[in-house]
Amino acid sequence: MPWIDKETCTSCGICAEECPVDAIAIENDGAEIDMNECISCAICHNICPVEAIRHNSERVEFWINEKIDDAQSKLKQCQEILEDPNTCDKSLGRIIHKYRMMGNIFLSAAEKLEDIKQKKEG
């Protein structure tokens, strides 16, 4: 999925004009993509004159660090509020389980979509 590099975006509006599903709007600080409307066609990637429209693969490390920071913050809160190491260890275990489950959901969805793609190509 695309995202907008706000530091690079010049608010020229080309992406908003060319988006076939009107998923892009120009706001005060640049273009915004409505991810509920975006169909991942990549037209915006190809027409942005300053290459401000980026791909999610560039954000993976950021998201990983964000999730780790969030989990550590919750663990710290648990320790401050409950003062029970066993409960806090279980809390961290639940967070780990949640991320593994989410990963499995996404992998399963990707595999099913690959099957659909292969059937269309075949």
Total tally of structural domains belonging to the chain? 2
Same domain, 46 and 6: yes
* Regions of the chain short of the pLDDT cut 70: none
Same domain, 77 and 106: yes
Same domain, 72 and 88: yes
Tens of pLDDT, residues 14-47: 999 999 999 999 998 899 999 999 999 999 999 9
Same domain, 81 and 109: yes
**Which residues have CB under 8 Å from 13's CB, separation 6+?**
26, 31
Same domain, 78 and 107: yes
Q: What's the confidence (pLDDT) of residue 54?
A: 92
The CATH number of the domain where 7 resides is what?
A: 3.30.70.20
Q: Answer whether 0.85 is exceeded by the pTM.
A: no
Tens of pLDDT, residues 12-22: 999 999 999 99
Q: What's the confidence (pLDDT) of residue 86?
A: 81
Q: What's the confidence (pLDDT) of residue 57?
A: 84
Distance CA 22, CA 16 (A): 7
Same domain, 64 and 82: yes
Same domain, 33 and 73: no
Same domain, 64 and 54: no
Same domain, 70 and 84: yes
Same domain, 47 and 64: no
Domain of residue 68 covers: 60-121
> Which tokens hold the place of 82?
């409950």
